[in-house]
Each structure stands twice: as structure tokens, then as C-alpha cells.
Amino acid sequence: ADGSGDYYSIQQAINAIPPAGHATISVAPGIYREVLTIGKPDIQLRSANPDPSKTVIVNNRSAGANGGTLHSATVNVTADNFFAENITFENDFNRTHPQLYEGSQALALLVTGDRAVFHNVRVLGNQDTLYLGSRNCHPDGQNCKVARQFFSDSYIAGNVDFIFGDAKAAFDRCTIYSTPHSEGFITAQSKHYPSED
């Protein structure tokens, strides 16, 4: 973030990786105000500082201003075999805008890649903080590819449907925190058909 690295932004480092993926990006502590799209497989995003609050990727996109909830994420992981460690993913839109009006959903992290692993991360937002989705799932159940995601020793905060989607996700030794609000809902499942796993 201070300009001393090989790239001036995390997204620039991701863009420099060949289409086949297979790379580790070391992110120095700092605040990175940007939107990330990770569409190459086998990418690792790591901070050497074990305190995830020291390495923050943040933006303030909302559903209303960006064409829907799934277009509001600060970080979008659509490729398989992603790994992140010691990083905060945050959407701070609701700090300066009222919640629960049309389009106030604001994702910190969207993951549709399979076998995504997150260790010692923080995922911060309010309404719709974390979307964990599968791919190509429709009501007819044809060609649905269930994605799997795993979180360990992590902290996830929000207040309205803040963990949602239709992926198969596991949370091990995680803190799931409901931020203050008139009412709150931790999760909202989104099956496209009754037998979807």
C-alpha cells in the first residue's frame, strides 16, 4: 500500500499472473482501497503479519449503485483452489449510508470458486457480508456444480442475512458476530432446488 512492493495494487499483481494461475501474492500490511477479481486458479493471497486487522482490502460498493447484490463485492473469487491468510476483507458502505433501503446490500466477499480456503481472516460488513455460492445452479437442477469453501480461525461480522448462498461451507473455530441492528439474521440459505446439496 505504501508503494514499496512490486505492484501498486493487489489487482495489478493478480493481473500479472498467467491465465493458468498457480501463484502466491504476498501482501504487505496496509489499507488497500480497491475491488479485487480473482478469476485464475490456485492463487494464494497472504499477509506475513499474523494480525489480519493490519492488512485490509476494503471498498464501499452497494447493490443499488452497482447493478445488484452480487455486483457489490469488494473481493470476488470465482476461480478454484483459492487460499487467503491473515487478511481483512471489508465493505464499509453501510458506515456512511443507511441500511435496509432499496439497494443497501454490500458484500465484503463473494466466493463461487470450489475448494476455497480462508485462514485467520476477517470478513466485515453489515447487510449481506459474505456470499458463498455454487455455479450454474438453476431450479431444474441440471449441471449444478456445488462449490465448497472452508473458513478456520476467522471472524465474520454483519447483521442482515450476512452469510448466504448455496455453497457447501464449513466454519471451524470461527467467531460469527451480529453487529448492532434493530433485528438481525445470521444466515439465509439459497437452494435453487430442494435436493441441492
| Contacts for 158 with CB less than 8 Å, ≥ 6 apart | 124, 125, 126, 127, 128, 129, 130, 178, 179
**CA nearest neighbour of 82 among 34, 163, 25, 159:** 25
Separation of alpha carbons 56 and 8, rounded Å:
15
Whether the CB-CB separation of 163 and 185 falls below 8 Å is answered with no
d(CA 165, CA 113): 13
Q: Which residues pair with 26 in a beta bridge?
A: 46
Q: Determine contact, residues 110/89, Cβ cutoff 8 Å.
A: no
Instruction: Select which of 6, 92, 114, 128 is catalytic.
Output: 128
Active site residue 128: yes
Contact at 8 Å (CB) between 124 and 130?
no
Of the residues 2, 92, 153, 161, which is catalytic? 161
Enzyme catalytic residues:
128, 161
